[in-house]
Amino acid sequence: MSDFAPVSTPMVTGRQFSKLEGSLMKDPSLYRQIVGSLQYLLTTRPDFAYSVNKLSQFMSEPTEEHYQGVK
């Protein structure tokens, strides 16, 4: 991810996530690990709270689209 440019918001604006979009991840533990790590970050960065809350709603069955949202 070192090739990506920084952005002013922690999440893409205007993006609606749904549990019906995209294909299920083959290894959802990667998604869960990343979102869990982001939850620890909330103690020092409360501006990420909305984004992490939206992404954590899909912990049971994350899709590739949700994973792209995490990245």
CB 69 within 8 A of CB 18: no
Query: Is 6 part of any domain?
Result: no
Query: Is 51 part of any domain?
Result: yes
CB 70 within 8 A of CB 32: no
**Which ranges of the chain have pLDDT less than 50?**
none
Query: Is 8 part of any domain?
Result: no
Identify the three-state secondary structure at position 50. Answer: helix
Query: Is 33 part of any domain?
Result: yes
Query: Is 56 part of any domain?
Result: yes
For residue 1, what pLDDT is reported? 63
For residue 42, what pLDDT is reported? 85
- Tally of domains within the chain: 1
Query: Is 66 part of any domain?
Result: yes
Structure tokens at 41: 């970050």
Q: Which domain holds residue 55?
A: 28-70
pTM value is 0.70
Query: Is 11 part of any domain?
Result: no
